[in-house]
Chain A
Amino acid sequence: MTNVLELRGITKRFPGVIANENVDITLREGKILALLGENGAGKTTLMNILYGLYKPDEGHISVRGKQVEIHGPNDAIAQGIGMVHQHFMLVPVMTVTENVMLGIEPTKNGLFLDKEKVAKRIREISDQYGLEVDPHAYIKDLPVGIQQRVEIIKVLYRQADILILDEPTAVLTPQEVEGLFKIIDTLIKSGKSIIFITHKLKEVLAVADDITVLRLGKVVGSIDPKEATTEILASMMVGRDVSLVVEKQPAKTGEPVLVVENLLVRDERQHVTVRGVSFEVRKGEVLGVAGVQGNGQTELVYALTGLLPLEDGTIRLLGEPIRHTTPREILERGVAHIPEDRQRHGLILSFPIHDNMMLCTYYKNPFAKGISLQEKSIFSNAEELVKQYDVRTPNIYVNAGTLSGGNQQKVIVAREFSRPIELLIASQPTRGLDVGSIEYIHKQIIKKRDEGAGVLVVSSELDEILALSDRIAVMYKGQIMDILDADKASKEQLGLLMAGVQLSDKQKMK
């Protein structure tokens, strides 16, 4: 068996950081190599080097035993290397055909685009690999699962036989993930080799032939998937033993904290994104809101926290209605909000940690007296919280932007949890965090639940929803498809609901 691709001694330095250090990677022909690592471990940098988007400082790349220089995407494509990017590289206002042909356009009479030729080729590729797609559809009209097929077709159209899939499952429903795995299987059978980049442990075990784990830019080791378990992989990724299961007692629920009825919300572009949503969150329970991103979860949270006005329906917080209520009033009634985008909405990155630690109470005692801020209590508050929530930072005076994602999230959690709260709204609380930080944040959320707060967790990671929730609501196209008890819900049921399929009674029984 030959190695189609070898990376040897790849080192890439950015100002102040070493993104990759002496990385060796081997891809065997017709096999799937899983490249596993936390965010920031250097997976994407490495693949961008391979694809010619970055230039390595040291090391070399061999394709089929021959050392090659890759200076740009064109060189990579010429070597048969194709990349499916994590954020799709598709032009939404163009058709599938136009997107596929971009860069290597065949012409009629040497001048005009030959779209029919490309469309025909796309149909051939579709048939060969089971990648069904309409060549004349516009990208903006296609669901993400199909868009991903277009990305794969783009790569195959360029006759790549080494495919790099960068976090391909991040935006898919469980059913779409199944479909993707089938496609990967077909690709392998027709002789392609695949590098599969992910941080999801179960997927790695499901598809990989070889596993290489990266941590902090270095290769930690390679392991045979037959010998690997999720626990082994997790500790390789993090560098210590981690608990992947959130331990929690059964919920002791009390009266409702939040009651939402027939909520209708429009987003900033006036599209109705939440239509007729009703649910309640009780004291001492976690209600998880599952769903593929962009099904109205963001706007739901915005409406609950006063960031978007209600179009229709009612929200009651501890019995009091919320309507034309400012975000500050909502916070003062005991709502803590961990926003979806911590860098834009959760923190002011160019402010020091001590100021970020009091952003929602800066105007009150003991942080302010009259018109002046009380530095002494601001500093002591921050010192205390940094210690209590284990924020890894040189001191409290550095800007929040200099912290890692996990520590930024800890700052937000520390700030929000430092005041008395009745309801916690956590939106994508662990997105992009390393396994260690995820474990910590999850523990904190469960702790708040056990202290008697109502918790609403919105997440597109099903594993997270299942780990935290007592009840699970699934959102699809702005509506709640169903609310299930977490201990009775299965991944398959949730996956169907996330795809907009109503469960029959039989499916519910399972």
Chain B
Amino acid sequence: MTTTTMELSATAEKRQRISYGMTLLVAGLLIFLLFGLNTQAGVNTTFGLNVAGSQAVEVADFVVPAQLTVNLMAAIAVFAGAYQLARGVRSTGWLLGILAFTFVAAFLTWAAQDKSFNLTGMLGSSLVRATPIALAALCGVISERSAVINIGIEGIMLMAAQTAVVTATVSGSLYVGLLGAILVGALVAGFHAFLVIRFKVDQTVSSVAINIFGTGFTSFISSRFLQKATDTLNNSGTFPIISVPGLSKIPVLGPVLFENNIIIYLMVLLVVVMHIMLFYTPWGLRTRAVGEHPKAADTLGVNVYLVRYVNVIIGGMIAGLGGAYFTLGSVGRFDEIMTAGKGFIGLAAMIFGKWNPIGAFTSSLIFGFADSLQVKLQILRVPIPSEFLLMAPYIVTMIILTGVVGRAIPPAADGQPYEK
């Protein structure tokens, strides 16, 4: 339009190009200084590709010369940074991908030098650890897409986890426990919906109350009853691993994707179903319209309140499933505050995933990866204090929330009560 506009956008572009290029250069240098100089010459790093007890066909482990690999990664990062500075690549996704890959690969090669590191096992446990985060994120997505904020997912998951283990132990059926968890999720979320839709209670206040109540209530029940009667109330067992016939035999992919328990399969299914529902069905169109411009939906005869009730309650059921994962899907008993902030990390994954089911799932995987990496590194006895390693998932949360990938835009009416 005018010279000024073009100049302005040109400077912004230049600034971005330089900052991405510099980041990559610095990352390359860091890789060399931190890992390259500390890697012994002549030793190998072994990446294990087989998981013990898996049905998958065995393949040879992946062995690389440690120092060479680390320095190669540093070189790739530096080269990519230099290329970016000189030429400028438009796709920031590629740059971030190169940054993450080189750094993580160099880090792992350094950490596991002269040792063996089970890559397949870690990828598998990334998915497992991502499961409750992804379920929490999906709960957030479906609820906030209809413009109801629910940060009470943590509390809902705790209550659901406890209900699941108790009903499963008492009834003797894991599926009854699962149903109980989903029901509790629906009830608590329904209560939240009732408060914020019918009485227009502040959505944050209401859901914080759910968190406080959930923590207090489950801890009370746990210390008052469960710990005294572990065998009769708090010992449910866990869902068995279901191997998908045929597919589970694929090396690497098989053990990661096709040897899991029912909750993990359900989670992946939910991601796909929710994506389709949200973007290709009337229900999804109405949900998105209600989240963006409820008045417009109302004038076209869409029942704004009904859509919000339904979505928040379905969200609660998904969070309930996430809660059940902690007990029925993982350890088979309830411990106080066992969710450990996964509900909140799920919300971070929702934001990072830009309120899309698939985005939320992908970012949950990143958090799951950080979490499982931390465990593996402790086993490898990396010279980093374990307290720092335990922080990894939370640090990743903060870095992502402070906006590595630009500003995510929430649904326009998010958090606002609707007045006719």
A244 within 8 A of B: no
Q: How far is the CA of A85 from the CA of B280 in the complex (A)?
A: 28
Q: Is the CB of A91 within 8 A of B281?
A: no
Q: Is the CB of B2 within 8 A of A479?
A: yes
Contacts of B285 in A (CB 8 A): 94, 98, 101-102, 105, 113
Q: Is the CB of B281 within 8 A of A111?
A: yes
Question: A102's contact among B2, B4, B5, B289, by CB below 8 Å, is which?
Answer: B289
B282 within 8 A of A: yes
A264-275 vs B, CB cutoff 8 Å, 1 = contact: the mask equals: 100000001001
Chain A proximity of B181: nearest CB distance (Å)? 28
A290-317 vs B, CB cutoff 8 Å, 1 = contact: the mask equals: 0000000000000000000000000000
Interface-lining segment among B295-303, B331-339, B376-384 = B295-303
Q: Is the CB of A91 within 8 A of B289?
A: yes
A72 within 8 A of B: yes
Q: Could you list 24 examples of A-B contacts with CB < 8 Å?
A: A72-B301, A83-B299, A89-B296, A89-B299, A90-B296, A91-B288, A91-B296, A92-B292, A92-B293, A92-B412, A93-B412, A98-B285, A101-B285, A102-B286, A102-B297, A102-B300, A103-B286, A107-B281, A111-B281, A113-B284, A264-B4, A272-B4, A272-B5, A275-B4
A334 within 8 A of B: no
Closest to B411 in A: A93
Q: Which of B8, B286, B301 has the most CB of A within 10 A?
A: B301
Q: How far is the CA of A423 from the CA of B5 in the complex (A)?
A: 31
Question: B295's contact among A89, A102, A112, by CB below 8 Å, is which?
Answer: A89
Contact A102-B302, Cβ < 8 Å, known A113-B280, A113-B281: yes
A425 within 8 A of B: no
Chain B proximity of A101: nearest CB distance (Å)? 7
Contacts of B280 in A (CB 8 A): 112-113
Question: A113's contact among B1, B4, B282, B302, by CB below 8 Å, is which?
Answer: B282
A276 within 8 A of B: yes
* Contact residues of B between 244 and 301, Cβ < 8 Å to A: 280-282, 284-286, 288-289, 292-293, 295-301
Chain B proximity of A276: nearest CB distance (Å)? 6
A468-494 vs B, CB cutoff 8 Å, 1 = contact: the mask equals: 000000000101000000000000000
Q: How far is the CA of A107 from the CA of B284 in the complex (A)?
A: 12
Q: Is the CB of B292 within 8 A of A73?
A: no
Contacts of B412 in A (CB 8 A): 92-93
Chain B proximity of A504: nearest CB distance (Å)? 20
Q: How far is the CA of A98 from the CA of B281 in the complex (A)?
A: 11
Q: Is the CB of A91 within 8 A of B5?
A: no
Contacts of A113 in B (CB 8 A): 280-282, 284-285
Chain B proximity of A441: nearest CB distance (Å)? 31
* Known interface pairs A94-B289, A102-B296, A102-B297; 13 further A-B residue pairs with C-beta atoms within 8 A, sorted by A's residue number: A53-B299, A85-B299, A91-B296, A91-B297, A93-B412, A98-B285, A102-B285, A102-B302, A103-B301, A112-B280, A113-B280, A113-B284, A477-B1
A235-279 vs B, CB cutoff 8 Å, 1 = contact: the mask equals: 000000000000000000000000000001000000010011000
Q: Is the CB of B4 within 8 A of A51?
A: no
Contacts of A90 in B (CB 8 A): 293, 296
Closest to A93 in B: B292
A418 within 8 A of B: no
Q: How far is the CA of A113 from the CA of B283 in the complex (A)?
A: 9
* Contact residues of B between 351 and 376, Cβ < 8 Å to A: none
Q: How far is the CA of A94 from the CA of B1 in the complex (A)?
A: 26
Q: Is the CB of B302 within 8 A of A272?
A: no
A77 within 8 A of B: yes
Q: Is the CB of A51 within 8 A of B299?
A: yes
Number of chain B residues close to chain A: CB under 8 A: 25
Q: Is the CB of B293 within 8 A of A89?
A: yes
B420 within 8 A of A: yes
Contacts of B420 in A (CB 8 A): 53
Q: Is the CB of B300 within 8 A of A103?
A: yes
A74 within 8 A of B: yes
Q: Is the CB of B282 within 8 A of A105?
A: yes
Q: Is the CB of B282 within 8 A of A107?
A: yes
Q: How far is the CA of A90 from the CA of B293 in the complex (A)?
A: 7
Q: How far is the CA of A272 from the CA of B6 in the complex (A)?
A: 11
Interchain pairs with CB closer than 8 A, number: 79
Q: How far is the CA of A99 from the CA of B299 in the complex (A)?
A: 12
* Contact residues of A between 28 and 74, Cβ < 8 Å to B: 51, 53, 72-74
Q: Is the CB of B296 within 8 A of A276?
A: no
Contacts of A92 in B (CB 8 A): 292-293, 412
Contacts of B282 in A (CB 8 A): 105, 107, 113
Chain A proximity of B95: nearest CB distance (Å)? 23
Contact A112-B281, Cβ < 8 Å, known A73-B300, A91-B289: yes
Q: How far is the CA of A93 from the CA of B302 in the complex (A)?
A: 18
Q: How far is the CA of A53 from the CA of B420 in the complex (A)?
A: 8
Q: How far is the CA of A272 from the CA of B5 in the complex (A)?
A: 8
* Contact residues of B between 1 and 47, Cβ < 8 Å to A: 1-2, 4-5, 8
Q: Is the CB of B281 within 8 A of A77?
A: no
Q: How far is the CA of A51 from the CA of B420 in the complex (A)?
A: 13
Contacts of A77 in B (CB 8 A): 300-301
The 8 closest A-B pairs by CB, nearest first: A103-B300, A89-B296, A105-B282, A74-B301, A73-B301, A91-B293, A91-B292, A89-B299
Closest to A75 in B: B301
Closest to B301 in A: A74
Contacts of B298 in A (CB 8 A): 53, 73
Contacts of B284 in A (CB 8 A): 113
Chain B proximity of A148: nearest CB distance (Å)? 14
Contacts of B299 in A (CB 8 A): 51, 53, 73, 83, 85, 89
Q: How far is the CA of A93 from the CA of B289 in the complex (A)?
A: 9
Q: How far is the CA of A367 from the CA of B126 in the complex (A)?
A: 68
Q: How far is the CA of A102 from the CA of B302 in the complex (A)?
A: 8
Q: How far is the CA of A154 from the CA of B296 in the complex (A)?
A: 11
Closest to A98 in B: B285
Q: How far is the CA of A417 from the CA of B322 in the complex (A)?
A: 64
Question: B302's contact among A98, A103, A276, by CB below 8 Å, is which?
Answer: A103
Chain A proximity of B383: nearest CB distance (Å)? 44
Q: How far is the CA of A275 from the CA of B8 in the complex (A)?
A: 11
Closest to A51 in B: B299
Q: How far is the CA of A327 from the CA of B156 in the complex (A)?
A: 49
B194-205 vs A, CB cutoff 8 Å, 1 = contact: the mask equals: 000000000000
Question: B4's contact among A89, A99, A101, A276, by CB below 8 Å, is which?
Answer: A276
Closest to A52 in B: B301
Q: How far is the CA of A73 from the CA of B288 in the complex (A)?
A: 19
Contacts of A103 in B (CB 8 A): 286, 297, 300-302
Chain A proximity of B204: nearest CB distance (Å)? 23
Q: How far is the CA of A107 from the CA of B285 in the complex (A)?
A: 12
Q: Is the CB of B296 within 8 A of A272?
A: no
Chain B proximity of A48: nearest CB distance (Å)? 10
Q: How far is the CA of A33 from the CA of B163 in the complex (A)?
A: 63
* Contact residues of B between 294 and 332, Cβ < 8 Å to A: 295-302
Contacts of A74 in B (CB 8 A): 301
Q: How far is the CA of A275 from the CA of B285 in the complex (A)?
A: 38
Contacts of B8 in A (CB 8 A): 272
Closest to A83 in B: B299
Chain A proximity of B2: nearest CB distance (Å)? 6
Q: How far is the CA of A107 from the CA of B282 in the complex (A)?
A: 8
Contact A276-B2, Cβ < 8 Å, known A89-B299, A94-B288, A102-B302: yes
Chain A proximity of B267: nearest CB distance (Å)? 22
Contacts of A264 in B (CB 8 A): 4
Contacts of A275 in B (CB 8 A): 2, 4-5
* Contact residues of B between 116 and 150, Cβ < 8 Å to A: none
Closest to B276 in A: A112
Q: How far is the CA of A323 from the CA of B5 in the complex (A)?
A: 22
Q: How far is the CA of A112 from the CA of B285 in the complex (A)?
A: 10
Q: Which of A98, A111, A479 has the most CB of B within 10 A?
A: A111
Contacts of B302 in A (CB 8 A): 102-103
Contact A89-B288, Cβ < 8 Å, known A112-B281, A276-B4, A477-B1: no
Chain A proximity of B408: nearest CB distance (Å)? 13
Chain B proximity of A135: nearest CB distance (Å)? 15
